[in-house]
Every structure is written in C-alpha cells, then in structure tokens.
Amino acid sequence: MKKVDIVEFEIRQLLDAVLFQYGYDFRNYSGASMERRIRNRCILSNCNNISEMIPKILHDPDFFDLFLKDMSITVTEMFRDPYVYKRIRQEICPVLSTYSRINVWHAGCATGEEVFSMAILFEEEGLLERTRIYATDFNNNSLEIAKRGIYSAEKMKQYTKNYIDSGGRASFADYYMAKYDSVKIKESLKKNITFANHNLTKDQVFAQMNLIICRNVLIYFDNELQDQTLNLFKDSLINRGYLVLGDKETIDFSDIRDDFEDCCRKERIFRKKNEI
C-alpha cells in the first residue's frame, strides 16, 4: 500500500471516530484542507502518525476540543469586505424595511465580528428593533467569544476603516467601550441576537429567514456537502429572501442554481425566486 493511501485511510478512521464519539461529521470537508489541519494537529500533539490520534479522540475530551478548534474557520473581522456590507445597505435594507419582522441567519458566525457588523448596519438603517439575528456555529468556544463581544483594541484601526468604507454613518467608536487593550461591544447591539450551536452537516433548517449570510464556509466543503448546505439555505429562506456567500463561493454549479437569481453578482448576493 502506498504511503498516501495509508494517510487517507488513517484520516477516514479518525473522522469515523469523531462521528461515532461526538456526532460531528467532517467526512465531506474538502480533502486538502482537512488533511492539512489534521497533519498540523498530529505534529502539535507529538504523535508519530495520524493513527495515534484516534485513541485520543475516543477517550480524551480535552484533545477533541483541540481538534474541534482546528476544524473551525475563524478568519474574520468586522465589516470584512466592506463593499459587501455597502451593497447590503444599499440594495437589501430598503427591501427588508417593508417587513414588520425580519429574520437573519448568520451561519458559521465564528467569533462574532461579522454578526455585530450586521447589527450595527441594521441599527443605522432603523431595522434592528424589528430584527432577530440568529448567529450559529458548531464550535462552542467560538460562540462563547462571540457572546462576550470582547475583542483586541489593536484591531480597531482596521475595523474602523472597514466600517467607514462600508458606508458607516456614525463614529465607529460609538459602538464599543474601550478598556486597556480590549474593547467590548455595546450591550444594546446584543439584545436582538441569539447565539446557538448549529452544525451545517447534520442540523435542520432555520425557517422563514429573510436573509442568510454564510461567507467563506462553503469553500471548506466538498461538492456534496456544498449542495446539501445550499439546499438547507434554500429551504430556510422565504420567497424573495437573500443569500450572501463569500467572495470565492457561488451557487453556479449547485442544484439550487435555478431557484435563485443574481442580485449583486460581484458581492455574491443571490435572491430566491418565488416558488410556483
């Protein structure tokens, strides 16, 4: 058996162990990304090979927590890709303003920076009071950081620039309180946000959503899991609801392509068609 085949076999066994013991299914994550993360954990844990990680997964919850952190996608920042938020402000908010109640699902919210960005945007557009934002991730550690809303002060310069470039209408400093080397998001922005654990690989729909945001998550899934997740989003959206994806993601080759129309092509914003 070739060495590469042994590694593939070990990875399959490891992921089966994760599914068996904890119910997390990573088997349809992108192969290259998955292998890179697992190899890195193997090195950091001083294991001679991937097979040595399997007993740790089965019998050591602390080790699994480390593994879960490795699998999480936490590359994020407030108002990341400001042009996307500017387009949401210009194109989507005027439509959402016609609804008496607005439901937003931010899937794969990581540590919450982009969730609070959306809350700020909606506050400035006069929509936050009638909006419920459901912010979900499969990683409870990331969710706890998001719930606290405490971030490094050194990042505020970049976040402030992003906010201004996104069309922000106030002083960004109005939305947080600074103390020493940290900032804390104002509590008023949290009151309409529900943080919850949700696993896109196995959990159910969030029904009656007006807007779903899932940026730079699908790129870590294989084609099968991408289609599964996109169908989940389709079933969660109301007719004429909006789906916002990451800059390297598209629905063009998925089986929901005909159920959506382009809203803002460059920004990867799509709108669900009326169901007949």
Over the stretch 19-58, which tens digit does the pLDDT of each residue have? 999 888 888 887 787 888 899 999 999 999 999 999 999 9
Distance CA 35, CA 11 (A): 7
pLDDT at 3: 55
Residues 39 and 61 in one domain: yes
pLDDT at 205: 86
Residues 16 and 104 in one domain: no
Distance CA 35, CA 49 (A): 12
Q: Of 17, 42, 71, which residue constitutes the final position of a domain?
A: 71
Q: Residue 204 domain-assigned?
A: yes
What rounded mean pLDDT belongs to the chain?
A: 93
Q: How far is CA 33 from CA 38, 71, 223, 268, in A?
A: 9, 9, 14, 23
**Total H helices, total E strands in the chain:** 10, 10
What's the gap between Cα 259 and its chain centre?
A: 22
Of 70, 65, 52, 69, nearest to 22 by C-alpha is 65
Q: Of 49, 71, 93, which residue constitutes the final position of a domain?
A: 71
Residues 123 and 181 in one domain: yes
pLDDT at 276: 62
Residues 216 and 145 in one domain: yes
Q: Which CATH number fits the domain that encloses residue 141? A: 3.40.50.150
Q: Residue 46 domain-assigned?
A: yes
Q: Residue 148 domain-assigned?
A: yes
Residues 90 and 56 in one domain: no
Of 218, 230, 216, nearest to 81 by C-alpha is 216
Report the domain count for the chain: 2
Residues 114 and 41 in one domain: no
What beta strand segments (E) does 1-111 contain?
102-107
Residue 77 DSSP one-character state: -
Residues 63 and 136 in one domain: no
Q: Of 71, 94, 128, which residue constitutes the final position of a domain?
A: 71
What residues of the chain score a pLDDT lower than 50? none
Q: Residue 77 domain-assigned?
A: no
Q: Residue 76 domain-assigned?
A: no
Half-sphere exposure of 113 (CA within 13 A, CB side): 20
Residues 14 and 35 in one domain: yes
pLDDT at 56: 95
Residues 67 and 103 in one domain: no
Residues 266 and 160 in one domain: yes
Our CA dihedral for 262, 263, 264, 266, rounded to 10 degrees, sits at -10
The whole domain housing 251 covers 82-272
Residues 62 and 86 in one domain: no
Q: Residue 26 domain-assigned?
A: yes
Sign (positive/negative) of CA torsion 186, 191, 197, 199?
negative
Q: Residue 147 domain-assigned?
A: yes
Residues 53 and 173 in one domain: no
Question: With contact defined as beta carbons under 8 Å apart, do 130 and 101 qualify?
Answer: yes
Exposed, middle or buried, 7 (CB in 10 Å: 0-12/13-18/19+)? middle
pTM: 0.88
Distance CA 91, CA 271 (A): 11
- Residue found under tokens 């789906």: 243
Kindly state the helix (H) or strand (E) to which residue 238 belongs, with its residue range. Answer: strand 237-245
Q: Residue 218 domain-assigned?
A: yes
Distance CA 44, CA 93 (A): 45
